[in-house]
């Protein structure tokens, strides 16, 4: 295959891409590390609160200082929310849900403790509320860490997209979201054009940058309820729930255009355009995932044969 063309100037609508963001998997690892750190800090605070309550006559000033450890939770939520900005689809939403839950628990705990300080004593009922709240908080931490481990295992290290571990689940979720279109889900394969030539000409690091840019362009073009996975090599698999063939083509052509607008700079300063081809089909819940992917793959190769940088639809029965 021939190498992609170097373009001395960027045409209208193109975008020069600089890869300075942290990969999605690294963001997940950072979030998991934050949760583990917070686990230890909050458990220490819980032990201090319980110890104070069990004495029956705590030092209220010391208890107030212990409660102010809630600021640590505030720091965590801010960091998690910052991380969520760089993570698309369900992973970013999960981070935001965790941040909201932390804020809610912090508020509840603070209200309880304010009540203790205001009354100057600890009614047994209030002690039970605080104890239950602490148990809930610790449970949330453990649940959150478990979810992060699952997300980490299903996240591609380079692109931050979902990986093959999330394949079956993503397909099933797509059908759950497709009731409005008689259970139809578009299954699409995207493949970078001339990718081997890109690697041979500009090096594997450049190829990695191209894959990250293509992944970002794909996520930026699909809808919030859609899913994008790194299927293998330079291929990206997309599930589009609740679509017709016409709607799916429109979305996939938007993806193609976003990718076509990418401009990357090689080490020698050359500006290189990246394009991709795509093929898709429509699947019903009765269809096997492998069959749908195979049909999308046929459409993808047709797009390649017809000149690349295009989208081809292949009907299920063709």
Query: Mind telling me the catalytic residues?
Result: 234
| Cα(45)–Cα(134) distance, integer angstroms | 10
Q: Beta 311-313 vs 276-283: how paired, if at all?
A: parallel
Contact 152, 57 (CB under 8 A): no
What whole-number distance in Å separates Cα of residue 238 and Cα of residue 186? 8
Task: Look at residues 217, 222, 231, 210 and name the one whose alpha carbon lies nearest to residue 274.
Answer: 210
End-to-end CA distance of the chain: 28
Cβ(116)–Cβ(63) below 8 Å: yes
The strand pairing partners of 191, in sequence order, are: 235, 277
Count of beta carbons in the 10 Å neighbourhood of residue 290: 8
Buried-exposed string 237-269: b where 16+ CB fall within 10 A, e elsewhere: bbbbbbbeeeebbebbebbbebbbbbbbbeeee
Rounded distance between C-alpha atoms, residue 162 and residue 156, angstroms: 6
């Amino acid at each position: 295959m021939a190498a992609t063309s170097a373009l001395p100037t960027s045409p209208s609508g193109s975008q020069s891409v600089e890869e300075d963001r942290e990969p999605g998997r690294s963001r997940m690892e950072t979030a998991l590390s934050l949760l583990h750190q917070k686990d230890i800090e909050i458990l220490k605070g819980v032990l201090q609160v319980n110890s104070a309550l069990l004495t029956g006559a705590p030092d209220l000033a010391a208890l107030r200082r212990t409660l102010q450890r809630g600021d640590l939770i505030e720091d965590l939520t801010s960091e998690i929310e910052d991380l969520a900005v760089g993570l698309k689809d369900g992973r970013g939403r999960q981070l935001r849900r965790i941040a909201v839950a932390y804020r809610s628990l912090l508020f509840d705990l603070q209200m309880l403790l304010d009540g203790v300080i205001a009354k100057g004593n600890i009614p047994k009922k209030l002690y039970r509320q605080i104890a239950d709240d602490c148990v809930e908080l610790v449970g949330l931490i453990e649940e959150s860490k478990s979810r992060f481990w699952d997300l980490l295992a299903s996240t591609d290290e380079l692109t931050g997209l979902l990986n093959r571990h999330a394949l079956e689940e993503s397909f099933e979720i797509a059908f759950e979201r497709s009731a409005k279109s008689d259970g139809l889900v578009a299954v699409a394969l995207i493949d970078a054009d001339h990718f081997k030539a890109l690697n041979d000409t500009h090096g594997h690091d450049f190829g990695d940058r191209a894959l990250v840019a293509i992944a970002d362009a794909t996520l930026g073009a699909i809808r919030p309820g859609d899913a994008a996975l790194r299927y293998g090599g330079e291929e990206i698999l997309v599930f589009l729930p609740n679509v017709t063939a016409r709607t799916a083509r429109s979305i996939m052509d938007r993806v193609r255009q976003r990718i076509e607008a990418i401009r990357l700079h090689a080490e020698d300063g050359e500006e290189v355009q990246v394009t991709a081809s795509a093929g898709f089909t429509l699947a019903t819940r009765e269809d096997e995932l492998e069959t749908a992917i195979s049909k999308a793959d046929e459409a993808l190769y047709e797009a390649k044969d017809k000149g690349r940088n295009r989208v081809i639809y292949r009907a299920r029965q063709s």
